[in-house]
Structure 1
Amino acid sequence: MGLFYAFGGYGKFCRAKHLMLKLENTYHDFLGEYPTLFCKDNLDLFFQKVLVERNSKLSGYYDLPFLENEEIFAYLERNREFLDSISNIIIIGIGGSSLGTKAIDALLSHLNNRKKIKVRFLEHTDPIMIQKDLFRIKYEDTLFIVISKSGLTIETTSLFKYILARFSLLKSDRKHHLAVITDQNSPLHHWCKEEKLEHITIAPNIGGRFSVLSAVGLLPLAILGYDIQAILSGAKTISHMFFEERRDNLLKKALFLAKNEKKFPINVLFSYSSVFRHFNAWYVQLWGESLGKLDMYEQKRGLTPIALIGSIDQHSFLQLIMQGPSNKTITFLSVENLSQKPLYIPDISLKGLEATDFVNQTSFNQLLKLQCVSTKESIISQNVPVDSITLESLSEQSVGALVFYYELLTSCVGILLQIDTYNQPGVEFGKKILREKFTHS
């Protein structure tokens, strides 16, 4: 699977099953008024709080790596002939109903087992984009997957209604072109049963942004050809390392981020490959919507996520990191081996441009890797807190591990901030105002 982890980018390697971790950290240099933050008593108390939350079933995502997913496999078997005939998947959903699936597909689309099915995401109410995404789509070779916890999300339901009308999907001979993923006993669930539509349910305590390892992500990923059991295996490994082996690296990172909330309120994810672009968007939603809350004392809390792509953003945001306010932590996310077939920079010298010849005959993979290392070292030299996550390769296991790692880190920080990590009351305010505007218009 090959997931490396390190604070500060330096440390010894330690093998645990198929997972590689760098365990040393340099955050000690930034602890300031918290010199004993990482002591055993603090870590033990913190770990017990995480256990209490997991066991309380406040969120069901903790259990997702261990579920059998019978409904998914039954659907795949029941519709095997039809699914082998499709060329397109249209996913109708917003936020957590689409971002995670999009992220994993982007990270794994190079795999040989990825089927040649085009997947598009209807996740907006922009009429220009709706027409563009549905251009030349015919229902005959398309599966439409509607994803909504309740069916009451205005964006998703409005798009759903449009799809139903445009492609006449409630005709008896077209219903198999539609599949729905929703909460157990939700209004949408009851509607599906009445209409005798294919549907898969998830537990109501699985929030959208924590749902990618449920049917929300696993069903479309399985249809696309990915080994969803391997994805869950990667997530299981992270869960085992945290809860069974008691690896403290994630606890230490969460403690540092929460205790330095005021000093370092901005957390930058610097991902070194364009394949991480959609993963970055998933991270921004997960981090921002989970951690920006009123705490138990009605105080505003939160950490602000920023997502960058290297080496592109070395030429933009890096300047602010280096010489702007010292209010950021940086996480470097990279892949040791991005491509099995390396691409090399030709040994060509151009007149007047000889100063660039030092990279000739270097692989692009090595160039990107050294750009990441150089940027990291330059940032560390400015006394900016830095940590690193490096995947050996992009596989189902490593991506599953990465997703669950970030979900678990988010939960840990939320516990320390004394907030409800899994609700989103601020988002609900806007929905209420929208409904009132239509009611009174």
Structure 2
Amino acid sequence: MSVTFGDDSVADAAAEAARRLVEEGVPRALADGDATLWGAEAQSEAAIRLGWLDLPTTSRELLPQIGELVERARAAGLEHVVLAGMGGSSLAPEVICASADVPLTVLDTTDPGQVRRALADRLDRTIVVVSSKSGSTVETDSHRRIYEQAFRDAGIDPASRIVVVTDPGSPLEQSAREAGYTVVLADPNVGGRYSALTAFGLVPSALAGADVAALLDQAAEARQRLGADDDPGLLLGAAIGAAAASGRDKLLLDDSLSGINGLPDWIEQLIAESTGKQGRGILPVAGSEPNEADDELTAGIDTESGVEVQGPLGAQFLIWEVATAIAGRVLGINPFDQPNVAESKANTTRILEDAGDGPLPTGAPALVDGPVEVYGDVPAHVKDLSGVFTELLKDIPERGYLAILAYLDREAAFDVPVPQEASFEAITDIWAAHDPASLQGLLAIRTDRPVTFGWGPRYLHSTGQYHKGGPQNGVFLQITGVVSGDLEVPGKPYTLGRLQLAQALGDLDALRERGRPAVRLHLTDREAGVRHLLAAAREV
């Protein structure tokens, strides 16, 4: 594991920050689990959130139980592994399985189309991992209820197909045991975004076929260097913390040359949720090219960059966690709480309850351009979608950013028919032409400000904290779409599609209450709407 620098100014600032931290005894104190490092106000929270430091050792105790679970699943012919989880409960397994090239279906969505696709895939050979630290995550609870009903309708006992990962004493543990489900308990002294090497990361990954013992071996080797003079976590944390303190608070993540797939998405939730509070923080930017702006720092995963972080995945997890904790110390921020995450959840609940059986409070569109309705404050001279994009880009303040937030099916583009004889490059182009995520690149080349992209509601469990608790310099473009083929959530008074829209509206309310510029685009025809979005962006 190594941290090196391709930028001399970053290297100098990191060395100076690391020297001060060593003089203050921070690296050794962190390695020893000292909860006082982030101040008196953070001490009580930190005292119950530092278990991740010892996971390379303590998580080995889970391996026999996980091994037995894998053997039973294989013997029963259960080859389709579905993970229902949000935030840290889904992002780490997604990276682990993508990097190991083993299949895992991740449900961190409330989009009915995406859930229907998973339900239609080999239900007779499906095993579902329901992961929730609190045991009350609304998305995961909905997935559990839907799969329970689907299994029963197919004549399958849900107890033979559902595995629950949760904290000891959570409401989910009790209900799961009563239902006869297999339960694997995670370390309660680890927060969700630091949980990659707990049961939340290991159970679904092992079921999918990844070598999780090797991950722990990699992390254990990195753990031995914590507190040492060559501690890579200290150097990385000093670099990103010092850079942010001096104004370089946009962290662009580049993994273009790495064999590790998707790590920037995991780093994004770790850093954004840990540091984005009190009007401060570091904004991680995944999937976007640098603009060479003076508020940017580029970090490469096995890729040459301003800061280059090299090493295997298990070690990367631990070192980035250490770095985030160190950066919190440098910035004077508690890296273990998430004071603003509950707001959007509360707004969602209020919207659903207030609406009852009636329509949700969407309001009237400010304008309609083909299959796209535009909601929000739109200047009178703006008459079409390209004009909306132009105004949003103009609204980005100095040192600000644009966040695109899409409450849609993130796999729908892959359903588009492709010619049988098409090359891989041609197929990729076809998918990109139908993918809402392509909007990030199209708008990014039209501004010198960072553009981020997040799938809703998954971003609520990652960058959502930064959007509301971080610096007041974000502009927000939210995208929703008409729902066809909705799904009932058994035992609840709402459908999945209704919950999805309520979540979007709830977060929009939270942003607008803070004065964040925000526009919602609603696609009255999803496929045509996405094509129209991308075409309009090209006209900006």
Q: Which residue does 2:438 correspond to in 1?
A: none
Asked if 2 retains the 8 angstrom alpha-carbon contact of 1:72 and 1:219, the reply is no
TM-superposed deviation, 1:417: 2.2
Q: Which residue does 2:249 correspond to in 1?
A: 265
Q: CA RMSD of the aligned region, Å?
A: 2.7
Residues 432 and 252 (structure 1), Cα distance of their counterparts in 2 relative to 1, 3 Å cut: same
Higher relative contact order (CA 8 A, sep 6+): 1
Q: Which residue does 1:126 correspond to in 2?
A: 111
Residues 41 and 426 (structure 1), Cα distance of their counterparts in 2 relative to 1, 3 Å cut: closer
Q: Distance in 1 between matches of 2:65 and 2:240?
A: 43
Aligned mate of 1:97, from 80, 89, 111: 89
TM-superposed deviation, 1:151: 2.0
- Say whether residues 1:303 and 2:282 are aligned partners: yes
- Say whether residues 1:45 and 2:30 are aligned partners: no
Q: Distance in 2 between matches of 1:423 and 1:202?
A: 19
- Summarize deviations over 1:153-204 as a string: whole Å, max 9, x none: 1111112111111222897844121100001000001111212210111122
Residue identity matched to 2:89: S
Q: Which residue does 2:129 correspond to in 1?
A: 145
Residues 71 and 38 (structure 1), Cα distance of their counterparts in 2 relative to 1, 3 Å cut: closer
Residues 403 and 131 (structure 1), Cα distance of their counterparts in 2 relative to 1, 3 Å cut: same
Asked if 2 retains the 8 angstrom alpha-carbon contact of 1:242 and 1:248, the reply is yes
- Summarize deviations over 1:343-375 as a string: whole Å, max 9, x none: xxxxxxxxxxxxxxxxxxxxxxxxxxxxx65xx
- Say whether residues 1:7 and 2:5 are aligned partners: yes
Q: Distance in 2 between matches of 1:125 and 1:221?
A: 22
TM-superposed deviation, 1:209: 1.3
- Summarize deviations over 1:306-353 as a string: whole Å, max 9, x none: 123xxxx6xxx24x22xxx3111111222xxxxxxxxxxxxxxxxxxx
| Residue correspondence of structure 1 range 42-441 to structure 2 within 5 A | 42-51=22-31, 53-54=33-34, 56-77=47-68, 80-84=71-75, 85-109=77-101, 118-138=103-123, 140-168=124-152, 173-243=157-227, 245-261=228-244, 262-273=246-257, 276-294=260-278, 300-308=279-287, 317-318=289-290, 320-321=291-292, 325-334=293-302, 376=305, 386-391=306-311, 398-441=312-355
TM-superposed deviation, 1:36: 5.1
Other structure's SS at 2:163 match: strand
Residue identity matched to 1:137: R
TM-superposed deviation, 1:301: 1.8
TM-superposed deviation, 1:53: 4.3
Residues 148 and 96 (structure 1), Cα distance of their counterparts in 2 relative to 1, 3 Å cut: same
Q: Distance in 2 between matches of 1:421 and 1:273?
A: 29
Total equivalences in the alignment? 342
Residues 251 and 79 (structure 1), Cα distance of their counterparts in 2 relative to 1, 3 Å cut: closer
Between 250-259 and 428-437, the greater mean CA deviation after superposition: 250-259
Residue identity matched to 2:284: P
Residues 119 and 28 (structure 1), Cα distance of their counterparts in 2 relative to 1, 3 Å cut: closer
- Structure 1: which 4+ aligned runs deviate by more than 6 Å? 169-172
Residue identity matched to 1:254: G
Other structure's SS at 1:242 match: coil
Other structure's SS at 2:300 match: strand
Asked if 2 retains the 8 angstrom alpha-carbon contact of 1:7 and 1:26, the reply is no
Residues 125 and 237 (structure 1), Cα distance of their counterparts in 2 relative to 1, 3 Å cut: same
TM-superposed deviation, 1:240: 0.8
Asked if 2 retains the 8 angstrom alpha-carbon contact of 1:123 and 1:155, the reply is yes
TM-superposed deviation, 1:287: 0.9
Residues 179 and 81 (structure 1), Cα distance of their counterparts in 2 relative to 1, 3 Å cut: closer
Residue identity matched to 1:260: A
Q: Distance in 2 between matches of 1:91 and 1:400?
A: 20
Q: Distance in 2 between matches of 1:193 and 1:57?
A: 25
| Residue correspondence of structure 1 range 20-31 to structure 2 within 5 A | 27-29=10-12
Residues 421 and 135 (structure 1), Cα distance of their counterparts in 2 relative to 1, 3 Å cut: same
Asked if 2 retains the 8 angstrom alpha-carbon contact of 1:103 and 1:282, the reply is yes
Q: Distance in 2 between matches of 1:91 and 1:411?
A: 28
- Summarize deviations over 1:130-165 as a string: whole Å, max 9, x none: 122322332x31111100012211111112111111
Contiguous gaps of at least 5 residues in structure 2 = 36-46, 356-540
Other structure's SS at 2:26 match: helix
Asked if 2 retains the 8 angstrom alpha-carbon contact of 1:49 and 1:415, the reply is no
Residue identity matched to 2:117: K
Residues 103 and 249 (structure 1), Cα distance of their counterparts in 2 relative to 1, 3 Å cut: closer
Report percent identity of matched pairs: 25
Contiguous gaps of at least 5 residues in structure 1 = 10-24, 295-299, 335-371, 377-385, 392-397
Q: Which residue does 1:368 correspond to in 2?
A: none
TM-superposed deviation, 1:48: 4.7
TM-superposed deviation, 1:82: 3.4
Other structure's SS at 2:262 match: helix
Residues 256 and 279 (structure 1), Cα distance of their counterparts in 2 relative to 1, 3 Å cut: closer
Residues 226 and 75 (structure 1), Cα distance of their counterparts in 2 relative to 1, 3 Å cut: closer
Asked if 1 retains the 8 angstrom alpha-carbon contact of 2:60 and 2:213, the reply is no
TM-superposed deviation, 1:121: 0.8
Other structure's SS at 1:425 match: coil
